Amino acid sequence: MVKKIIIPLIVVVAIIAAIQLFHKEKPFYDLKLEKLRQEYAIKPVPSVEHSKFKVLQADFETPQEVTEACLTCHTEVHKEIMGSSHWNWERIAYVEGRGIRAIGKKNLLNNFCIGSQTNEQACAKCHIGFGMNNDHFDFKNARNVDCMVCHDNSEEYQKGTSMAGYPDRSVNLSKVAQSVGQPTKNNCGACHFYSGGGNNVKHGDLEAALIATTRDVDVHMAANGLNMSCVDCHTAENHVMKGKLYSVSADNINRLNCEDCHTNMPHFNQMLNRHTAKVACQTCHIPTYAKENATKMEWNWSDAGKLKDGEPYMENDSLGNHTYMSIKGSFKWARNIQPDYLWFNGTADHYMMGDTIGEIPVQMNKLFGAHDDPNSKIIPVKIHVGDQIYDKKYNILIQPKLFAEEKGDSAYWKDFDWDQASEAGMNRLGYPYSGEYGFVRTEMYWPVNHMVAPKEQSVSCAECHTRSSGRLEKLTGFYLPGRDNNPILDGIGRWLIILALGGVIVHAAIRIFYSLSNKEYETEIIDYENQNNQKQ
Amino acid sequence: MSKIYIYKGFNRFWHWTQAALIFFLTVTGFEVHDSIHLFGYEKAVYFHRIASYAFLVLIAFAIFWHVTTGEWKQYIPNVSKLSAQIKYYTSGIFKKEPHPTKKTQVSKLNPLQAFTYLGFKLVLVPMMVISGLLYMFHKTVDGNNEIVIRDISLGSIANWHSFGAFLLVAFVIVHIYMTTTGHTYTSNLKAMITGYEELDDEKVADDEKNKAE
């Protein structure tokens, strides 16, 4: 009889063990992916050799002359450029709760170097123009368009430091003009890798290491992989780049999505495909960012201004990252960081000059999104925190004047006087300054989109679907299987099982007790007799 | 003492397949609930889905069988004898009193069983199937033209599903224990395996008398 119970039990256990042992993923070939690989493995060959053009074989004195030479063939292209945000540093966008606004680098604040206004001379190193050194730059002068910064393929071109966007004096303009072509990683990276004053300071997922990296760091840009360049994905119809950076963007127009190539059902596993409704590709496929070099996570302006023997100084950590600079304050860096996660629908609000400070920390760019919103997905973000200067009386953030060539021009980086810097900055922007300043905590959100890992390294199910300390632990307000439960219901369930077990055990005990008490009586008699017999 | 054929082939197949599926669904289900760790989350979800489809197929066959053979009538509880049956399980059983109801091929369930199984079939299983299907197809618009269930929150669906799971576990515990309350400790279990059950002679005699009539 015991066999009849044990055998089925063994069978059940054996079946489970067999399933566990022999369930293996079948090897397969993802034809969709192979097709994409094939497409991007073929690198475009230019149909034109610019060095053969007479007009480019000149001795260029000024960079404007190069632009004029470009325009002799590409006669209308300046119109495209002058309509782009790379040129205008702003875009017309609908901002939820505000209406139509022109926003961009030109007028927004951030919690890194705060803002470009009053500091154009330095900031314009990353403007695709020549001579933006104040707010009187002529955005209608095509001669000032800098074609070379994006199209130089010789790695010769370089914009000078604090030269209002003009090239460094060492640059051989003729060499550059004769070797133009499609933008490479070097061109884009010159600004987008070094934004914020150093490699990987701002983004965390865009840095110089991507120029030659491995598949472990980035499957798309890996030198031992497809070696894709930025413009393979960020295509530019009429010089309007596809893709949005939400530190300066507000609407969801012309976004670049993984789905554009990979479709929204890229997995063989339907269970994974279902996730694409609510989870962005990046969430699972970018398990960590800043994989090679560290990125800045915290910037405290309130610590700025300490001097040694009356001179500004800086301190570095063991990896060579600045941890303190008299001109900027103290920093915290990190590498191989697990992102934070947010709901995001592709629209954002920004702190705009003059906004009264409400919530603290101040959100420099508020990413909109919610679980209930059908357009929202969970995305990975880098959250950059810090403190920065604000007007205590008017309760608004201050745009200080940071840069000047010489001392005595009210610039903080020369004179280390917040009062003067604030007054000069706010005065030019047309805002009042009360003379009372303080420092307020601010936060900035950087969606993480690059450094896509090989699929073996993507985030596994249980990293989110787990009761505690999962990746989405902080993202509450919706039911996530495996993470969420109803503790009351689970308590009731546990008691239900305990009561059932208890009831069964008590019932069985009573039955055993009754039958034993009957048998015991008989056994005793027999034993008694046996013992007597033996004794006799 | 004699044996009668009480559980037909399909009945036994259905019972044991259902038992195995419920066991497997419980294990994988509680893994999805993050209560146990056995297969790993991804496989647990996958296996739970496969088993749930198998269970749906089995249910379809079982319903067909119940309807076409008239077996469904077995589950109409005899309310008048219900209290006698409860009294037997709470006191008579200890004193080895005879079962208050007779088990026959025509009436193989006692009133309490009929009542419980009816609840199992009409409340518990539908609750698990409906909440399970809602769970399975709960998703929001993603452009894939899949079934969209947005008005019911996934949380409440999941709560109903796990409440049903707790009830099922409690049911199985009591159910397994109750198999020991037959003519001998294992006669019920044997019957569900072989189809034949040992019954008291008088019962069989009665049955034969009934048949003769």
Q: Is B32's CB within 8 Å of A462's CB?
A: no
pLDDT tens sequence across B47-75 = 999 999 999 999 999 999 999 998 888 88
Find the range with the poorest average confidence among A141-150, A445-454, A492-501, B64-73: B64-73
Task: Looking at the complex, report in whole angstroms how far the Cα of residue A349 sits from the nearest Cα belonging to chain B.
Answer: 25
Q: Cβ B34–A478 below 8 Å, yes or no?
A: no
State residue A289 phi and psi, 5-degree precision.
Answer: -125, 175
Which residue among A20, A276, A497 places its CB closest to the CB of B142? A276
pLDDT of res. A531: 54
CB A460 to CB B142 under 8 A? Answer: no
Q: What is the pLDDT of residue A536?
A: 43
How far is Cα B65 from Cα A149, in angstroms, rounded to an integer? 78
The reported pLDDT for the residue numbered A43 is 86
Task: Nearest by CB to A485, from B33, B167, B174: name it.
Answer: B33
> Which of B46, B170, B180 is opposite residue A496, by nearest beta carbon?
B170
Mean pLDDT of B192-205: 70
A484 touches chain B (CB under 8 A): yes
Give A-chain residues touching B28 at CB under 8 angstroms.
Answer: none
Which among A4, A278, A493 has CB closest to B193? A4
- Please say whether the dihedral angle defined by the alpha carbons of residues B31, B35, B37 and B42, taken in this order, is positive or negative: positive
CB contact under 8 A, A482 and B41: yes
The nearest CA of chain B is from the CA of A520 a distance in Å of: 15
- Count the alpha carbons within 13 Å of A82 in the hemisphere toward its beta carbon: 13
Q: Which of A142-146, A157-161, A519-523 has the lowest mean pLDDT?
A: A519-523
Smallest Cα distance from B128 to chain A, Å: 15
Range in A19-23, A57-61, B124-128 the model is least confident about: A19-23
Torsions phi, psi of A301, nearest 5? Answer: -65, -25
Inter-chain residue contact B142 with A264, CB threshold 8 Å: yes
Q: In Å, what is the CA distance from A373 to each residue of A40, A263, A473, B141? A: 35, 21, 20, 10
A18 to chain B: closest CA residue:
B39
Give the global pTM.
Answer: 0.87
Are A78 and A145 contacting, i.e. CB atoms less than 8 angstroms apart?
Answer: yes
Q: How far apart are CA A273 and CA A51, in angstroms?
A: 49
* Whether pLDDT at A69 is above 80: yes
- C-alpha span between A363 and A348 (Å, rounded): 11
Q: What are the φ and ψ backbone dihedral angles of B68, each rounded to 5 degrees?
A: -70, -30
Beta partners for residue A356, in sequence order: none
Residue A451 has pLDDT above 60, yes or no: yes
pLDDT at B210 over 60: no
Best CA proximity match to A207, nearest among A348, A336, A341: A336
A481 chain-B contacts, CB cut-off 8 A: 32-33, 154, 158
Q: What is the pLDDT of residue A521?
A: 52
CB A440 within 8 A of CB A450: no
Q: At what angle do helices B187-194 and B9-32 cross, to 10 degrees?
A: 110
Judge contact between A211 and A183, C-beta under 8 A: no
Structure tokens at A180: 């133009």
CB of A16 within 8 Å of any CB in chain B?
yes
> Residue A471 and residue A462: Cα distance in Å, rounded?
9
CB contact under 8 A, B95 and A514: yes
Higher pLDDT, A44 or A89: A89
Mutation target among B142, B145, B146 for the A interface, most CBs of A within 10 A = B142
Task: Let me know: does A465 contact B34? Beta carbons within 8 Å.
Answer: yes
Distance from CA of A5 to the nearest CA of B (A): 9
Size of the A and B interface in Cβ pairs below 8 Å: 123
Instruction: Name the residue with higher pLDDT: A301 or B152.
Output: A301
Question: What mean pLDDT value characterizes chain A?
Answer: 92
A476 shares contact with chain B (CB less than 8 Å) = no
Paired strand residues for A152: A180
* Rounded CA separation A441/A302 (Å): 10
A479 touches chain B (CB under 8 A): yes
User: What domains appear along chain B, each with residue ranges and CATH number?
Assistant: 2-212 (1.20.950.20)
B 49-108 residues inside an 8 A Cβ radius of A: 49, 89, 93-96
